[in-house]
Structure 1
Amino acid sequence: MKIFNQIESEVQSYARSFPRIFNRAKGEWMWDEDGNQYLDFLAGAGTLNYGHNNPLFKQALLDYIEQDGITHGLDMHTRAKGEFLQTFNDKILRPRNMEYMVQFTGPTGTNAVEAAMKIARNVTGQQNIVTFTNGFHGVSLGALAATGNSHHRDASGVSLNGTHRMPYDGYLGDNIDTTEYLDKVLADSSSGINSPAAVIVETVQGEGGINAASIEWLRNLQTVCRKHKILLIVDDIQAGCGRTGDYFSFEEAGIEPDIITLSKSLGGYGLPFAVVLMKPELDQWKPGEHNGTFRGNNLAFVTAKAALDHYWSDNAFSEEVKRKGRYISQRLENIVQQYGDGNFTTKGRGMFQGINCVNGELAGKITRAAFQKGLIIETSGADDQIVKFLCPLVISEANLEKGIDIVEEAIREVCAKTDSIPEEKVYFEVA
């Protein structure tokens, strides 16, 4: 640990929660230098939906490197890019009757968000973007302006502008449809909100606390956007690529976003890769108007294509994820009924769920106890109060059960060590 303590920046975060030196990983497992084995329920913060070193992708990558395939080509045409585009069109877009242009941005999610907001502003001639409470879209300045978390916003060093903040689904209570409020302020010339360029939304707010928008709310949001001629951007960077069961997290709602951002598990192997999908009429960029040296990660093209070929050629994988998601829901409901007096409702969708604790201190105790038992699992939410389940989608049923067993055991131990219980006797809720 000496070199990390000597010269690595204090900005590191995950290393503080999991203070080990890891040197090997396979599937849903990681090993540290001492040979200790850990189940990974973090999965690169949603980047490793297909697990670590997926053998189906690894061989394709090794073959490509062995053949001296193009590693870096800016945005020039390469065989790897062409094969990815063809496969993405054949396996993802066409079967869903989706017609989008594909823009390769810099390889991070936040860069895709920056590009999405920029094109929305350029096309519409409007400046502001409607964003939502507890949303998280990245930490570069434009994306950060759309992010709600004060911890990240306070680090910007400058004023963040260009956005209007609106309440997300459920923010004002279960029986209040916040899209009605959005509709009202957009229709009222005295509301103080000018006609925005777009609305950007996550269907499930991962970093914001596993807040899942209802299907009805998403449909209503699209209706409001169309009524007021506002573009709808879905940030599917963490919830997409199968995390909720379908390839896109909004498929169940049947909505048609004008713009979609993808990153994280898009590359399949953990390699940096991000895209913006936009309706053809919105593709009004001038050449090089949004560029970046690493906007064509050819190694990621290879593994992304392999992921599409192996997992998205039919519905089998999607159905498997949905089945595992139902199992997670059942297990988490049982846990909160046993330890939380049953005063809760279930949120989250598919394999994107979590347990909402009274506070971040309690959630932290649970995740630390779980780590001591061999499980890597993180927290999320405004106060880090959510124990966040983000295991690889390819995890075996046995190891999925094992990981949840560890969390339940950690909760049991933490509760047993708690001397006093809050008056409301509420500890956990599924989020």
Structure 2
Amino acid sequence: MTITEPLLSVFETVESEVRSYCRAWPTVFERASGSRLYDERGRDYLDFFAGAGSLNYGHNNPVLKRALLDYIERDGITHALDMSTTAKRDFLEAFQSAILGPRGLPYKVMFPGPTGTNAVEAALKLARKAKGREAVVSFTNAFHGMSLGSLAVTGNAFKRAGAGVPLVHTTPMPFDNYLGGRTPDFIWFERLLEDQGSGLNQPAAVIVETIQGEGGVNVARPEWLRRLADLCRRRDMLLIVDDVQMGCGRTGSFFSFEDAGITPDIVTVSKSISGYGLPMSLCLFKPELDIWEPGEHNGTFRGNNPAFVTATAALDTYWRDGALRERSLLQGARIDAALAELCSDPHLGASHRGRGMVWGIEFQDKARAGAVCARAYEHGLLVETSGPESEVVKLLPPLTLSPAELEEGLEVLTRSVRETA
């Protein structure tokens, strides 16, 4: 199918060259509903990208939209810094009763700036303040954000190079299965910690994603995460779980670490916490770590009240029972089965991995992933690449998509993979 490119002159002449996703999807989007976007020519696209995981409940979710419109129409507070508001109170009460309480999680809730990297920066700062140490350990192929502190614990060479300054006070360690199972877990890490001549300063914390989305959909085993948590406990290091993309139900459970049975010291949450795509982030931590002085970490937009409204509606609608979790696990199993069948064809040179509603297809011919995404776009499906060399096609469909939409997307994906073989 031939697609005529729309006139993009204003984007090309006024907007910075840093723009990214619009290059892969060269159209002008006008509206969106549920699991679909529509461009200004009226063509629809099935969205298996979901705002990089910030639209877990779909575009313009009607329940969340109604709550937001009602709030705006009654002149609800929009901007309030960190002042107390009814919208914030409603969110905190819902988050405690629907999420923290039922899971026995003791966390205090901090509202940093409204993006994921803001939450990571707050977590790193707090860990260093609490332990009085500078060093932080991260993992190979990690991605934690684009500000300097977050970049320092990010593995991607291209993104790190954009910093323009040395990224210091961090040390990378091998992520789960990084060495293909040839080396026991954490043997290098533990040896460096116990050797006074290793050159590794005692870390304040370890930061980890349970599933590395941008790193290539690399899934950490529950037993690996448990061993990491135990290592942190024994070696007096705080464990930070970055749940910015994998939280809010992406893996089935609200937090991605729940199935491993661990309780991190600090957790970062963003993307789908607002439920509506509105900027919002949380830094959660154990009460004994709440050693901030008033105003010691702040930001002008750390109190996004419209986001509190939609976040509360999302919690009340989807997290008062286990229905969404069960639905996500069921649909995830269907994706797993479909990808397993697709990748069983040896001529495709592909393998798959994932959990819940995040999956990736890795190609031996690394350029294939980009070609598959481009062909999928031509057929009306939005998917993106991930991995250090963009060798993985990543699937992040809304958790609320229908079974028919799931089958449609899998059919288009299969067709796109076979057509680029």
* Shorter-chain TM-score tier: over 0.9
- The alignment partner of 1:89 has SS state of helix
Report Cα offsets for 1:197-230 as digits up to 9, x if no partner.
0000000000000000001100000010001010
2:356 matched to 1:375?
no
How far apart are residue 73 of structure 1 and its match?
0.2
Which residue of structure 2 lines up, in the alignment, with residue 402 of structure 1? Answer: 408
Alpha-carbon shift at residue 360 of structure 1 (Å): 3.6
Q: CA deviation at 1:104?
A: 0.1
The answer to which of 311-320 and 187-196 deviates more is 187-196
CA distance in 1, matches of 2:111, 2:309: 15
Per-residue CA deviation, residues 321-342 of structure 1 (Å, 9 max, x unaligned), is 0111111100000000025578
Counterpart in the other structure of 2:175: 168
Which residue number in structure 1 is paired with residue 227 of structure 2?
Answer: 220
Cα 1:340–1:204 shift into 2, 3 Å: farther
TM-score for both structures, normalised by structure 2? 0.97
Mapping of residues 25-44 of structure 1, within 5 Å: 25-44=32-51
The one of 11, 18, 22 aligned to 2:25: 18
**What code does the residue aligned with 1:103 have?**
M
Aligned to 1:365: 371
**Does the alignment pair 1:354 with 2:355?**
no
Q: How does 1:119-158 map to 2 (within 5 A)?
A: 119-158=126-165
> Partners in 2 of 1:39 and 1:378 — Cα distance?
13
Q: 2:418 aligns with which of 399, 412, 421?
A: 412
Question: Which residue of 1 is the match for residue 306 of structure 2?
Answer: 299
Cα displacement (A) at 1:186 = 1.1
Question: 1:378, CA displacement in angstroms?
Answer: 0.4
Question: Which segment drifts farther, 130-139 or 169-178?
Answer: 169-178
What is the match of residue 271 of structure 2? 264
Q: Which residue type is aligned with residue 46 of structure 2?
A: L
- Following superposition, the deviation at residue 2 of structure 1 comes to 1.4
In the other structure, the counterpart of 1:384 is 390
1:109 aligns with 2:116: yes
1:348 counterpart SS class: strand
Q: Deviations over 1:10-55 (max 9, x none)?
A: 0000000000000010000000001111000111000000000000
Distance 1:226 1:404 in 2: 42
Q: Give the secondary-structure state (helix, strand or coil) at the position aligned to 1:384.
A: coil
- CA-CA distance at 1:178 after TM superposition: 3.1
Which ranges in structure 2 are unaligned for 5 or more consecutive residues? 1-7
Question: Aligned letter for 1:391?
Answer: P
Structure-2 residue corresponding to 1:423? none
CA RMSD in angstroms comes to: 1.1
Aligned length: 414
Q: TM-score under structure 1 normalisation?
A: 0.95
Which consecutive aligned stretches of 4+ in structure 1 deviate over 6 angstroms post-superposition? none
- Superposed, 1:323-334 pairs within 5 Å as 323-334=330-341
Distance 2:141 2:294 in 1: 35
* Structure 1 residue aligned with 2:66: 59
Give the unaligned 5+ runs of structure 1.
416-431
The one-letter code of the counterpart of 1:127 is E
Q: Which amino acid aligns with 1:128?
A: A
For residue 287 of structure 2, what is the aligned residue in structure 1?
A: 280
Identical counterparts, % of pairs: 54
Match of 2:102 in 1: 95
Verify the 8 A CA contact 1:84 1:301 in the aligned structure 2: yes
Matches of 1:283 and 1:85, distance apart in 2: 17
Tell me the equivalent position of 2:209. 202
* Rounded Cα–Cα distance in structure 1 between residues aligned with 2:152 and 2:92: 31
Q: How far apart are residue 343 of structure 1 and its match?
A: 7.9
Do the aligned residues in 1 keep the contact of 2:27 with 2:39 (CA within 8 Å)?
yes
Is the 8 Å Cα contact of residues 172 and 178 (structure 1) preserved in structure 2?
Answer: no
> Per-residue deviation at 1:74?
0.2
- Higher mean C-alpha displacement, 353-362 vs 251-260: 353-362
> Measured at CA, do residues 91 and 301 of structure 1 come closer, stay the same or move farther in structure 2, by a change above 3 Å?
same
Q: Determine if contact 2:131/2:204 at 8 Å carries over to the other structure.
A: yes
Q: Which moved more, 1:354-363 or 1:311-320?
A: 354-363
> Deviations for 1:89-110, whole angstroms, at most 9, x for unmatched residues?
0000000000000000000000
Residue 2 to residue 343, structure 1, CA distance change in 2 (3 Å):
closer
Q: 1:308 to 1:400 in 2, by over 3 A?
A: same
CA distance in 2, matches of 1:282, 1:351: 32
